Amino acid sequence: MLGMQSICILGRQPALGLAELESLYGASAVTPVSEQVAGLSLPASEVNFSRLGGSTRLATVVAEVPSKLWKDVEKQLAKSIVEIARTLPEGKLQLGLSTFGIPITTAKLNASGLTLKKIVRGRADRSVRLVPNPELELNTAQVLHNHLTAQTGIEMLVIATSDGKTILARTTAVQDIDSYTIRDRGRPKRDARVGMLPPKLAQIIINLANPTPGATVLDPFCGTGVLLQEALLMGFSVYGTDLEPRMIDYTRANLDWLTSREEWLRKNIDEHESRSILLEQQDATTFQAHNAAGVEAVAAETYLGRPFTEKPAPEVLAQTSTEVNLIIKKFLKNIHSQLAPGTQLCLAVPAWQISPDRFKHLPLIDDLTQLGYNRTRFEHVRDEQLLYYREDQIVARELLVLTRK
């Protein structure tokens, strides 16, 4: 754990968050601590947390305890919290605790919280409000609504490591769940028939394509524009196309809504309107880029086929797989000559869950080299882990991270 300066708590499908961190900051900067926790060798101030879709918290490492015994951990917690409390502005402190992999009960954790509250009162002469733990980990809403990342807030993360140690870290940022809800459900145009790409997943897809700052991100299956929305918020120019004119109209309405809400974004687009947003009705399989030189990354949720709500008959699934495979294969062949060598792509393609955690994949995955692409391999995540799905979901999204040869 030497050199670890910050911690990310990973989301519901932690492998995606881990791959995202590796894509943005490099494998050498990332250390998997546990299934749910990743360490970074750079300070929290250098992590663009609002850009991350696969991490729910960012924290600064404040201490390492060479033990998992709670009495040792509690002693260091008291020392660290008192030191932090003495540096904070005047006012009542808000204190919260979350543990990861620590063998402790919720009752014991709450009792320790009360002990730590008394210690801070006595040693730092500060009034403290303790946020009670219904579970060992406070959820995102509890952290936000109790102001634990505010100037007088302290959330301490207590994290067990695989080598018998314990990391203590202070939360500096947490996912803005209210903003995600607005960006997902508050948009004026939505269409359940074309799928509901979650903004968090859109962020992950863009980050796995990893465009350079100021680049133009192409989405040739733009749908209602969720991915373009998130790319704009990250500071990229966007180029979106879709087969259906209605989807282009929906995307335009949604991006107009977004720019009306974001003052800095509206200013940027007003100054560079000709290059910031370009929307066109085109078929991805015959797509011709009008500004090919400006496309530096491709990030898209492709055609996913039929939205099965129950396990389909084998012949129906085979037909669907063949149909989707043909469309995406045509797209990859068509766009290959329009991209410069080294251009990165991240495509969400369908994979079908045929039994618990067993998937049928697109045949083209075995033909990527012949199609002119190399699949990016991650040091900390296996290819088969790059799947976004729920346990009861038939159609999963498999993330293909590619480089144009």
Q: What is the DSSP secondary-structure string of 138-200? A: --HHHHHHTTTTSTTEEEEEEEE-TTS-EEEEEEEEE--HHHHHHHHHSSS---GGG----HH
Please name every residue paired with 397 in a beta bridge, in sequence order, or none if there are none: 350, 388
**Contact of 113 with 155, CB cutoff 8 Å:** no
pTM of full prediction above 0.85: yes
Residue 261: its pLDDT value, please?
Answer: 80
Reported confidence tier of residue 272, pLDDT bands at 50, 70, 90: low
Residue 294: its pLDDT value, please?
Answer: 74
Tell me the C-alpha distance between 318 and 305, whole Å.
11
Whole-number average pLDDT of the chain: 93
**Contact of 136 with 106, CB cutoff 8 Å:** yes
**Residue 230 burial class via C-beta count within 10 angstroms: exposed 0-12, middle 13-18, buried 19 and up:** buried
Residue 262: its pLDDT value, please?
Answer: 73
* 368: pLDDT strictly greater than 60: yes
Residue 275: its pLDDT value, please?
Answer: 53
* 384: pLDDT strictly greater than 80: yes
Tokens linked to 391: 């346990």
User: pLDDT over 90 for what percent of the chain?
Assistant: 87
User: pLDDT over 70 for what percent of the chain?
Assistant: 95
* 141: pLDDT strictly greater than 90: yes
DSSP 365: G
Please state the rounded mean pLDDT for residues 60-64: 97
Task: Tell me if residue 58 falls in helix, strand or coil.
Answer: strand
Helices and strands counted in the chain (H then E) = 11, 17
Please state the rounded mean pLDDT for residues 317-334: 97
Reported confidence tier of residue 396, pLDDT bands at 50, 70, 90: very high
Tokens linked to 331: 């797209």
**Cβ atoms within 10 A of the Cβ of 373, count?**
22
Domains of the chain: 6-175 (3.30.2130), 191-404 (3.40.50.150)
Please state the rounded mean pLDDT for residues 222-229: 96
Reported confidence tier of residue 274, pLDDT bands at 50, 70, 90: very low
Greater confidence (258 vs 261) lies with: 258
| Torsions phi, psi for 358 (to 5 deg) | -120, 130
Q: What is the DSSP secondary-structure string of 237-276? A: EEEEEES-HHHHHHHHHHHHHHHHH-HHHHHHHHHSHHHH
Tokens linked to 298: 């491709």
Residue 117: its pLDDT value, please?
Answer: 96
Lowest mean pLDDT among 209-218, 255-264, 374-383: 255-264
Please state the rounded mean pLDDT for residues 287-302: 84
Reported confidence tier of residue 180, pLDDT bands at 50, 70, 90: very high
Residue 2: its pLDDT value, please?
Answer: 52
Please state the rounded mean pLDDT for residues 24-42: 96
Reported confidence tier of residue 60, pLDDT bands at 50, 70, 90: very high
Please state the rounded mean pLDDT for residues 54-65: 97
Residue 260: its pLDDT value, please?
Answer: 85
Token look-up 């940027």 returns: 268
- Give 334's Cβ-side CA count (13 Å radius): 15
**Contact of 238 with 277, CB cutoff 8 Å:** yes
**Residue 310 burial class via C-beta count within 10 angstroms: exposed 0-12, middle 13-18, buried 19 and up:** exposed
Please name every residue paired with 349 in a beta bridge, in sequence order, or none if there are none: 398
